[in-house]
Amino acid sequence: MGAAGESPRERYRMQRGQRLRERGFSQLEVIPVVMLVGIIAAIAIPRFPTPPQTGVVTSKLIQDISYAKGLSNRLQTKCGIYFIDSSSYRVFQDDDINNAAINPVTGEDHVVTLSGRFSGVTVSPNFGTTLKFDTIGTPLDGSDTVLTAPPSINIAVAGDGGEKTIRIEPNTGQLRVD
């Protein structure tokens, strides 16, 4: 028998309980740490910058231009993009800027308005308000003139995140971003 009349079994239980208590953290240790992490997160999260919206709008516009080019080939008619103003545009079909193509994702008229999280982003083409594609993908202006302006046809996208330029190569209609 051990000290104060303890049996070996009781001594083992006491030592085991003491070891289990030593393995973890007490609530008094955990609560301040969690509070400190919460305070740091509350201070740090608002300081992270918002993602550049110019890049998102540029990607969307490139997708829409590619869609209009492909649509002109599939429908065998002139399709394109009509820039309503610096913050909205419409993908059109059948050589009619007022005949909006159907958005394949939403099933609604394909009209894009840069509002909400995209407000402040502007789109400025250097060739007028209309970009058309003929049935083989050649870029045209609103009066059906082949766009061959050297060095290329540009659409500037400006706003949060700087400015990006979409270049549309004459004759081929290939797209690239600078």
Q: Are 138 and 173 in contact (CB under 8 A)?
A: yes
Lowest-pLDDT range of 30-39, 77-86, 97-106, 117-126? 117-126
- 113 by DSSP, 3-state: which? strand
144 or 74, which is more confident: 74
Q: What is the pLDDT of residues 119-164, one digit of tens each?
A: 888 999 988 899 999 999 899 888 888 877 665 689 999 987 789 9
- What is the pTM for the complete model shown? 0.70
Domains of the chain: 3-47 (no CATH), 53-177 (3.55.40.10)
Where do we find the tokens 């993009």? 81
